[in-house]
Amino acid sequence: MIFQTQKARNMIDQILNTVISLMNDDFGSIEPEVVLGNLALVDTYNDDLNNSITDKVVLSVVNIQQESILRNTPANRQVYNNLGQPNGVARHPGIFLNIYILIGANKSEYAIGLQRISQVLTFFQRSPIFTVAQIPSLPDFSLDKIIFDLHSTSFEELNQLWGIMGGKYIPSVIYKMRLAYIDSIDTNAEISLVRSIDASFTNKSK
């Protein structure tokens, strides 16, 4: 996939950092309470008091999937130039993504960790949809909105996830961020538009 701008290359982290900023504003703490980090390294980071995820609420991307229902999109499309004339351009088909985010309360006090998870749930219950009003950079990524859905997991799935991550369980929830749309158009690769079709048929008799 070829992205149009440097911003598009940094789409996921920029959007998540903006959401994190909104969460910190909602939490109302003096120091940033919510950070982007790798929850698989919680035990390592706990030994380093200067590390940014110690005693924090941490967002980690644990899976990225393509939305299969919306995969079949045209490879080329018609655009109009400054004169209003139609041109055909090559188009890298867009990708609709489901990004699974594990949000864990890496707090030294268990009760405070539960309180932070309650705040996370309340935050996304009030604001499950983010538009340009909340995230002005969305148009840079060909997005008009992103949606956060609470993702339920079974005990088995939860055990497998934390087992893969190699860490002890901490109070946490999983959200699915959808649909992130990455669209790349090669404006230099013009193609000819089909303006007419000539067809002839021959009746072959036996």
Q: What is the pLDDT of residues 180-205, one digit of tens each?
A: 565 555 444 554 444 444 555 566 65
Strand partners, 61: 101
CA distance 10 to 203: 59
The answer to whether residue 87 is domain-embedded is yes
Q: Which two tokens stand for residue 57?
A: 């609420």
Asked whether residue 49 is domain-assigned, the answer is yes
pLDDT at 1: 40
Phi, psi of 81 (to 5 degrees): -85, -175
* pLDDT confidence of residue 100: 95
Q: Which helix (H) or strand (E) holds 86?
A: strand 86-106
Nearest C-alpha neighbor of 5 from the set 132, 182, 144: 182
pTM of this structure: 0.74
Q: How many CB atoms lie within 10 A of CB 25?
A: 11
Question: Is 194 domain-assigned?
Answer: no
The answer to whether 95 and 181 are in contact (CB under 8 A) is yes
In a domain, 193, yes or no: no
pLDDT of residue 79: 54
Which residues are registered as beta bridge partners of 76? 90
φ/ψ of residue 33, rounded to 5: -95, -30
> How many structural domains comprise the chain?
1
- Does 97 reside within a domain? yes
Question: Residue 82 is part of which domain span?
Answer: 6-187
Cβ atoms of 6 and 118 within 8 Å: the answer is no
Which residues of the chain have a pLDDT value below 50? 1-6, 46-47, 186-188, 191-197
Is 1 within the bounds of a domain? no
Provide the pLDDT for residue 180: 53
Q: Is 117 part of any domain? A: yes
Structure-derived torsion over alpha carbons of residues 125, 108, 154, 66, reported in degrees to the nearest 10: 60
Q: Decide if 192 is inside a domain.
A: no
